[in-house]
Chain A
Amino acid sequence: DAGVIQSPRHEVTEMGQEVTLRCKPISGHNSLFWYRQTMMRGLELLIYFNNNVPIDDSGMPEDRFSAKMPNASFSTLKIQPSEPRDSAVYFCASSGTGGDTQYFGPGTRLTVL
């Protein structure tokens, strides 16, 4: 079985540009999570969806960040405009019905110059 798929794996962009990160959760999982990991702040939950509906976006740092889940097999995290302080590894994770175990994707390493 394929695990959580994220693309791109690496992204280098310039300040002010729009960045879109993509995630395909494990088939059959109904919860999806976006995390950001940095040395300074550790692993932070940005937003999570249940059955494609955003449940809690209190971790989204500011209005420059937005996330969508148009269907059960796809989600995006968009940063517009990007800033150097957004540089981090962004993980997507999914979990199944009634389950707490989260399965993480390989992450997207974002560098904003």
Chain B
Amino acid sequence: KQEVTQIPAALSVPEGENLVLNCSFTDSAIYNLQWFRQDPGKGLTSLLLIQSSQREQTSGRLNASLDKSSGRSTLYIAASQPGDSATYLCAVPSGGYQKVTFGTGTKLQVIP
């Protein structure tokens, strides 16, 4: 059974700081990993999808890396802004053909 863990559960940083969010998964037989952002009371917004054949994926100030062998992914946010405040979740395929398992998320607060 795929289990996904995200550490830390919550993070508070001053504006402008670079930060790293971590995601660990137990079954390394994955073909991709996706990072999402969720604002309070809202749905999820896909940020980055990184395929198993890739080691990194970048979008603006966001950079995601994937190390399948160690069962880890990181999301790097450069020059954080108050608008980055949200919960960040990672998700990997598991079990059934279309089933996806999510982590519990990291709640980020960027203080102006």
Task: Check if A and B associate.
Answer: no
